[in-house]
């Protein structure tokens, strides 16, 4: 079993759904892993432009570097770093 399938099953169960529910809604999927190494000139780093993730859900393993935000209720909200939390962002799919 692929890691992405196991994560989707755990997410389904955590939401009180059948193990296959999230996988059925997502259809064919791919797991994408990004790693952003520390910036050697952090005082000049501007970050990413505002964007919408294209996947159904995003798992973020944050660190103490500030700047992670989510857009909710028409404004940007700073997310607090709480170790060892994993941030889960669920997409709105239409």
Residue 42 forms part of a structural domain: no
Percentage above 90 pLDDT, the chain: 13
Residue 61: domain span: 54-94
Q: Of 65 and 1, which is predicted with more confidence?
A: 65
Residue 64 forms part of a structural domain: yes
Return the closest-CA partner of residue 92 out of 75, 78, 62, 72: 72
- Residue 13 is predicted with a pLDDT of 95
Residue 76 forms part of a structural domain: yes
Does one domain contain both 63 and 28?
Answer: no
- Residue 59 is predicted with a pLDDT of 82
Q: State the total domains in the chain.
A: 2
Residue 45 forms part of a structural domain: no
Per-residue pLDDT at 94 exceeds 60: no
Average of per-residue pLDDT across 71-83: 88
Task: Give backbone dihedrals phi and psi of 11, rounded to 5 degrees, phi first.
Answer: -65, -45
Does one domain contain both 58 and 29?
Answer: no
Indicate the helix (H) or strand (E) that contains 76.
Answer: strand 75-78
Does one domain contain both 66 and 94?
Answer: yes
CB neighbour list of residue 93: distance below 8 Å, 6 or more residues apart: 25, 56
Residue 59 forms part of a structural domain: yes
CB neighbour list of residue 72: distance below 8 Å, 6 or more residues apart: none
Q: pTM for this one?
A: 0.62
Residue 66 forms part of a structural domain: yes
Beta strand 69-72 pairing with 75-78? antiparallel
Residue 19 forms part of a structural domain: yes
Residue 93 forms part of a structural domain: yes
């Amino acid at each position: 079993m692929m890691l992405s399938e196991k994560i989707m099953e755990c997410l389904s169960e955590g939401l009180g759904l059948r193990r296959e529910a999230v996988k059925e809604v997502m259809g064919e999927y791919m797991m994408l892993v990004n790693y952003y190494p520390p910036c050697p000139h952090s005082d000049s780093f501007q970050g990413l432009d505002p964007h919408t993730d294209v996947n159904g859900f995003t798992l973020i393993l944050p660190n103490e570097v500030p700047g992670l935000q989510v857009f909710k209720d028409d404004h940007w909200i700073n997310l607090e770093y709480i170790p060892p939390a994993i941030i889960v962002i669920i997409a709105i799919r239409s």
